[in-house]
């Protein structure tokens, strides 16, 4: 039986837009085994609550959600079938205490041994009085291999994380990441809160993707409660999401050039991005548009002068693009650093189901706006650029193409903004829903279960970086240490988004 | 011919030399904040620091929104370096620790070690609502609280995230506070 046939044998539970198939332990085990041979379905996310584990798969335009009770705190591992499951399984053990049987790797991930409790989200967390353990890293054998520890406090103005390099001469033999430093306990804080309050926490899951995560969470809540936001709210969400894509892509393009010590594009991109952010503040009242997307719609309507301000900022970006691109392409000193550096093999991007520019630069043409279309993109589909090279240059070029596409989408959205209210009231009842929104970094995926009073019973926010970070470890292999900042910036994964 | 010209950097640079600067004027600084800060700084430190500050940024748990705005300070519109303020790669070179985020339990030791590496005199600036008191995250098992849960804080720049202009106001107040008293007695 194929994996999808197997999961159809489960008992369907109410969840929207797709039902959740409840599997028994043997059924889940059979599914885990079937996925080894059946490489079709992609693992999008794996998480838990105190009683069960949950798995979200995708094949084509369909999501498949399954769950399995774990009354004794154990469940059959998926990591032998899907490498992307490794970090999820480590995270599940740290947060809920459920152990994946037969897992590839069960070293701690988010839990550094510094919390007052172990398994803080379990039904009964145990007090933690143990000494802080030393982290264990994978080893490398060979003549002249030595280690370079980097972080958690980095040299630049970036988020904290530890990188353990094993190098031979200048060449990186292995990179291993150790994250979890900015674990704030998002999920625990969301529990028992009304959706609107939980949304303010989600807006701060990864500040650079505040709109995309806010929108995906709002979608999940709206699915759970069977409400639809107004056409105007939907269009305004898309305007904000495209502005967010634009300012982040400009930022990343500039920073990649800066990491190759080429300052001019960085200065230009910085100025253009500042123009976009000021426009966001004028149009929506906040430079990053934090807390502007709320469950049920958007917090406030577009300011009266907003459309004109946005269009002016778009014109400025468009006017600067040809010159910027010509300089990026025309300087051998820059091209020499980015072309062929930090290559991700298309097979790896596919196996990890890596989204965003990481996947699309390595042949995986998934963009949630096109592959799992949601309003307003169902009526306004984006062109999805795809490249196969998988190097730093390809990731930059995907961003450049998407800047152009965001300009087009923004103009189309603003030219045809529907009239009407921007918020609908949320009914007070229970439900379960999934939301997926394409952020600048990739697909932001949210699952939420609300109890009868409309309070969050369980939730899981999945940042796209979960399935991109592991590929950075692969991309840097065989490159020189000095190219790591360039590779890292070309990925620009979120730390806060995966540290939860 | 046109294409070759477009690829070249020098005509673009020349054009920018002739145009008006895109940099914003400096924001005003609160006299009250400056007086409070000056009172915290010993006289000797004023002479040593002079009118320039090296800043080491430490993310102790932020959602990265504060980092975006701190990074924006370096763009040509805010042009932080014109004030003698610059970001440095090591705490050993720093006069200021600019700390963001609710202080997570997993970052506390790294923050304390960073402080130990920073020479005296050293300002600690807490940036963002979370750094003030833990913000939305203060009741979490994973969070110690604000930055002051681990280190004495000299200046707070609230906001979620603070805008680059608000950040600049705070940092300029630090500069003003350590300006040596004028010799002519005009204060």
Of B74, B77, B107, Cβ closest to residue A160: B107
pLDDT band at A338 (very low <50, low <70, confident <90, very high): very high
Are A118 and A249 in the same domain?
no
Average pLDDT over residues A126-131: 90
- Could you tell me which of B127, B146, B148 has the C-alpha nearest to residue B66? B127
- Provide the strand spans (E) within A179-288: none
pTM of this prediction? Answer: 0.94
Residues A170-174: contacts with CB within 8 Å, 24+ apart? A170/A480, A170/A481, A170/A482, A171/A478, A171/A479, A171/A480, A172/A476, A172/A477, A172/A478, A172/A479, A172/A480, A172/A481, A172/A484, A173/A140, A173/A142, A173/A145, A173/A477, A174/A138, A174/A140, A174/A473, A174/A477
Residue of B nearest to A160 (CA): B59
Q: Is residue B159 a contact partner of residue B129, using CB atoms and an 8 Å limit?
A: yes
Q: Is A152 a residue whose pLDDT tops 50? A: yes
Residue A325 CA to residue A313 CA, distance in Å, equals 18
Q: Is residue A342 part of a domain?
A: yes
- State whether A228 and A91 are in the same domain: no
Q: Is residue A245 part of a domain?
A: yes
Which residues are bridge partners to B145 per DSSP? B103
Closest CA to A445 of A77, A36, A18: A18
- The answer to whether residue A410 sits within a structural domain is yes
3-state secondary structure of A379: coil
Residue A441 lies in a domain: yes
Q: In this prediction, what percent of chain B has a pLDDT beyond 90?
A: 60
In the structure encoding, which two tokens stand for residue A169, read together?
């001469």
Helices (H), A133-230: 186-190, 195-202, 210-225
Subunit contact B142:A323, Cβ cutoff 8 A:
no
Q: What is the DSSP letter of A61?
A: T
Answer yes or no: are the C-beta atoms of A204 and A283 closer than 8 Å.
no
Tell me the pairing of strands A52-59 and A42-48. Answer: antiparallel
For residue B55, give how far its alpha carbon lies from the nearest alpha carbon of chain A (Å): 10
Examine the fold and report which residue of A108, A127, A146 is the final residue of a domain before the chain moves on.
Answer: A127
How much is the average pLDDT of A374-391? 96
| Same domain, residue pair A71 and A206 | no
Query: Which among A318, A309, A320, A315 is positioned nearest to A268, based on CA atoms?
Result: A320
Query: Could you count the other beta carbons within 10 Å of the beta carbon of residue A368?
Result: 24
Query: Could you give the ipTM of this predicted complex?
Result: 0.95
In chain B, which residue's Cα lies nearest the Cα of A116?
B141
* B111-122: pLDDT as tens digits: 999 999 999 889
Residue B5 has pLDDT above 80, yes or no: no
**How many helices (H) and strands (E) are present in chain B, helices listed first?**
8, 7
Mean pLDDT within A321-344: 95
With a cut of 90, say whether residue A219 has pLDDT above it.
yes
Q: What is the pLDDT of residues A441-481, one digit of tens each?
A: 999 999 999 999 999 999 999 999 999 999 999 999 999 99
Claim to verify: residue A247 and residue A108 sit in the same structural domain: no
B57/A181 Cβ within 8 A: no
What is the rounded average pLDDT of the residues A30-47? Answer: 95
pLDDT of residue A368 exceeding 90: yes
Judge whether residue A357 has pLDDT over 50.
yes
pLDDT at position B32, please?
Answer: 85
Question: What's the mean pLDDT in A289-309?
Answer: 96
Please list every residue in chain B whose beta carbon sits closer than 8 Å to the beta carbon of residue A326.
3, 6-7
B118 shares contact with chain A (CB less than 8 Å): no
B160 vs A contacts (CB less than 8 Å)? 204, 290
pLDDT digits (tens, 9 = 90+) for B70-83: 999 999 999 999 99
pLDDT of residue B30: 86
Q: Where are the alpha helices (DSSP H) in chain B?
A: 2-7, 10-18, 31-40, 43-49, 65-72, 108-117, 129-133, 164-177
Longest Cα–Cα distance in chain A = 69
Count of CB pairs separated by less than 8 Å, A with B: 148
B66, B93 contact by CB (below 8 A): no
Q: For residue B45, what pLDDT is reported? A: 65
Q: How many alpha carbons fall within 13 Å on the CB side of residue B13?
A: 8
CATH of the domain at A105: 3.30.460.80
CA distance A439 to A464: 9
Tell me if A145 is assigned to some domain.
Answer: no
pLDDT > 70 fraction of chain B, expressed in percent and rounded = 89
Residue A414: give the domain boundaries: 186-498
Tell me whether B141 touches chain A (CB under 8 Å): yes
Share of chain A above pLDDT 90, in %: 96
Contact B56, B114 (CB under 8 A): yes
**For the ranges A3-17, A89-103, A276-290, A360-374, which has the lowest average pLDDT?**
A3-17
Asked if A196 and A47 sit in the same domain, the reply is: no
- Give the chain A residue nearest B77 (alpha carbons): A271
Is A177 within the bounds of a domain? no
**At residue A381, does pLDDT exceed 60?**
yes
Average pLDDT of the residues in A228-254: 97
pLDDT the model gives residue A328? 95
The shortest CB-CB distance from B105 to any of A114, A157, A274 is to A114
pLDDT at A276 over 90: yes
Contact list in B for residue A180 (CB cut-off 8 A) is 106
pLDDT per position as a tens digit, A304-324: 999 999 999 999 999 999 999
Residue A217 has pLDDT above 60, yes or no: yes
Same domain for A254 and A107? no
Terminal Cα distance for chain B, rounded: 61
In a shared domain, residues A276 and A194:
yes
State the nearest Cα–Cα gap between A258 and chain B, in angstroms.
Answer: 12
A288 chain-B contacts, CB cut-off 8 A: 65, 68, 161
Q: What is the pLDDT of residue B187?
A: 38
Please tell me the least confidently modeled range out of A6-20, A373-387, B37-51: B37-51
Q: Pseudo-torsion of CA A253, A257, A259, A262, nearest 10°?
A: -160
Q: Are residues A303 and A372 in the same domain?
A: yes
Q: Are A193 and A202 in contact (CB under 8 A)?
A: no
| Same-domain check for residues A104 and A236 | no
- Residue B42 pLDDT more than 80? no
Any A CB within 8 A of B112 CB: no
Q: Is residue B172 predicted with pLDDT exceeding 60? A: yes
Does A314 fall in a domain?
yes
**Residue finishing a domain among A111, A127, A143:** A127
Q: Other CB atoms closer than 10 Å to residue B113's CB: what's the count?
A: 12
A171-198 mean pLDDT: 97
Helix (H, G, I), strand (E, B) or coil at A82: coil
How distant is the Cα of B75 from the closest Cα of chain A, in angstroms? Answer: 5
> Do A242 and A335 fall within a single domain?
yes
User: Which chain B residues are closer than 8 Å to A153 by Cβ?
Assistant: 58, 91, 110, 114
Q: How much is the pLDDT for B49?
A: 66
- Is residue B50's pLDDT more than 80? no
Residues A95 and A203 in one domain: no
Whether A423 and A291 map to the same domain: the answer is yes
A127, A148, A166 - which closes a domain = A127
Instruction: Find tokens 């990491």 and name the residue.
Output: A259
Give A293's pLDDT tier (boundaries 50, 70, 90).
Answer: very high
| Residue pair B63/B22 in contact by the 8 Å Cβ criterion | no
Total domain count, chain A? 2
Is residue A127 over pLDDT 80? Answer: yes
How many Å lie between the alpha carbon of A288 and the closest alpha carbon of chain B? 8
The answer to whether B16 faces chain A, any CB pair under 8 Å, is no
pLDDT in tens, B80-109: 999 989 999 999 999 999 999 999 999 999
Whether B77 contacts chain A with CB within 8 A? yes
Count of other CB atoms within 10 angstroms of residue B114? 22
- pLDDT confidence of B2, banded at 50, 70, 90? low
Task: Output the domain CATH number for residue A236.
Answer: 1.10.645.10
Which structure tokens are listed for A456?
């969050």
Instruction: Report if residue A179 sits inside a domain.
Output: no
B45 to chain A, minimum CA–CA distance in Å? Answer: 26
> Locate tokens 């009085």: which residue?
A129
pLDDT the model gives residue B44: 61
Q: How many angstroms away from the CA of B4 is the closest CA of chain A? A: 9
DSSP state of A84: T
CA distance B42 to chain A (A): 29
Mean of the pLDDT values across residues B23-28? 88
Which pLDDT band, with edges at 50, 70 and 90, does B174 fall under?
confident
Each residue's pLDDT tens digit, A392-428:
999 999 999 999 999 999 999 999 999 999 999 999 9
| pLDDT at position A352 over 70 | yes
Contacts of B141 in chain A (CB under 8 A): 115-117, 120, 185, 188
Q: What is the rounded average pLDDT for all residues in chain A? A: 96
**CB neighbours (10 Å) of residue B155?**
20
Residue B185: pLDDT band with limits 50, 70, 90: very low
Give the residue from A207, A243, A282, A440 with the most B CB atoms within 10 Å of its CB, the best one to mutate.
A207
Q: What is the pLDDT of residue A79?
A: 97
CA B100 from chain centre, in angstroms, equals: 10
């Amino acid at each position: 039986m194929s994996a999808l046939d197997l999961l159809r044998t489960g008992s369907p539970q109410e969840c929207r837009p797709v039902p959740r198939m409840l599997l028994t332990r043997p059924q889940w085990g059979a599914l885990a085994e079937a996925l080894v041979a059946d490489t079709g379905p992609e693992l999008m996310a794996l998480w838990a609550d105190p009683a069960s584990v949950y798995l979200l798969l995708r094949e084509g335009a369909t999501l498949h959600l399954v769950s399995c009770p774990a009354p004794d705190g154990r469940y059959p591992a998926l990591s032998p079938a899907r490498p992307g499951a490794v970090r999820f399984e480590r995270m599940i053990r740290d947060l809920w205490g459920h152990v994946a049987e037969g897992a590839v790797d069960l070293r701690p991930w988010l839990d550094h041994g510094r919390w007052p409790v172990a398994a803080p989200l379990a039904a009964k967390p145990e007090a933690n009085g143990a000494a802080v353990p030393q982290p264990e890293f994978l080893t490398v054998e060979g003549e002249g291999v030595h280690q370079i520890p980097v972080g958690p406090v980095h040299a630049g103005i970036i988020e904290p994380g530890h990188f353990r390099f094993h190098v031979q001469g200048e060449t990186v033999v292995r990179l291993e990441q150790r994250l979890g430093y900015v674990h704030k306990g998002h999920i625990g804080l969301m529990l028992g809160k009304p959706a609107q309050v939980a949304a303010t926490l989600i807006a701060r899951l990864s500040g650079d993707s505040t709109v995309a995560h806010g929108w995906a969470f709002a979608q999940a809540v709206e699915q759970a409660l069977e409400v639809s936001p107004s056409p105007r709210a939907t269009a305004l969400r898309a305007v904000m999401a495209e502005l967010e894509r634009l300012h982040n892509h400009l930022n990343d393009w500039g920073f990649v050039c800066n990491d190759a010590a080429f300052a001019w594009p960085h200065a230009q991109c910085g100025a253009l991005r500042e123009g976009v952010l000021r426009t966001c503040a004028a149009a929506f009242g906040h430079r990053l548009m934090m807390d502007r997307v709320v469950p049920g719609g958007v917090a406030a309507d577009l300011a009266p002068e907003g459309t004109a301000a946005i269009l002016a900022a778009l014109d400025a970006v468009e006017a600067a693009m040809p010159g910027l691109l010509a300089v990026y392409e025309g300087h051998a000193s820059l091209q020499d650093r980015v072309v062929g550096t930090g290559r991700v093999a298309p097979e790896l991007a596919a196996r990890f189901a890596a989204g965003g520019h990481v996947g699309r630069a390595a042949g995986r043409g998934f963009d949630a706006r096109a592959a799992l279309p949601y309003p307003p993109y169902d009526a306004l589909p984006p062109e999805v650029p795809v490249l196969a090279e998988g190097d730093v240059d390809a990731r930059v070029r995907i961003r450049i193409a998407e800047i152009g596409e965001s300009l087009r989408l923004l103009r189309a959205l603003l030219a045809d903004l529907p009239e009407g209210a921007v918020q609908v009231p949320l009914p007070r009842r229970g439900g379960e829903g999934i939301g997926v929104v394409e952020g600048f970094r990739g697909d932001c995926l949210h699952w939420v279960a609300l109890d009868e009073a409309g309070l969050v019973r369980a939730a899981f926010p999945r940042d796209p970086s979960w399935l991109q970070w592991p590929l950075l470890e692969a991309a840097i292999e065989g490159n020189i240490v000095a190219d790591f900042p360039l590779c890292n910036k070309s990925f620009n994964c979120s730390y806060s988004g995966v540290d939860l | 011919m046109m294409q070759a010209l477009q690829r070249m950097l020098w005509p673009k640079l020349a054009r920018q030399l002739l145009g008006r600067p895109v940099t914003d004027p400096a924001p005003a600084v609160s006299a009250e904040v400056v007086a409070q800060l000056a009172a915290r700084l010993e006289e000797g430190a004023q002479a040593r620091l002079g009118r320039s500050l090296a800043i080491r940024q430490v993310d102790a748990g932020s959602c990265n929104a504060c980092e975006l705005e701190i990074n924006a300070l370096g763009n040509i519109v805010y042009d932080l370096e014109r004030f003698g303020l610059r970001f440095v790669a090591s705490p050993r070179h720093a006069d200021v620790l600019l700390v963001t985020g609710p202080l997570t339990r997993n970052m506390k030791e790294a923050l304390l070690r960073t402080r130990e590496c920073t020479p005296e005199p050293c300002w600690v600036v807490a940036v963002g609502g979370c750094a003030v008191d833990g913000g939305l995250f203060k009741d979490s098992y994973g969070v110690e609280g604000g930055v002051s849960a681990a280190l004495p804080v000299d200046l707070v720049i609230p906001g979620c995230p603070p805008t680059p202009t608000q950040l600049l106001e705070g940092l300029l107040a630090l500069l003003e506070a350590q300006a040596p008293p004028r010799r002519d007695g005009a204060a």
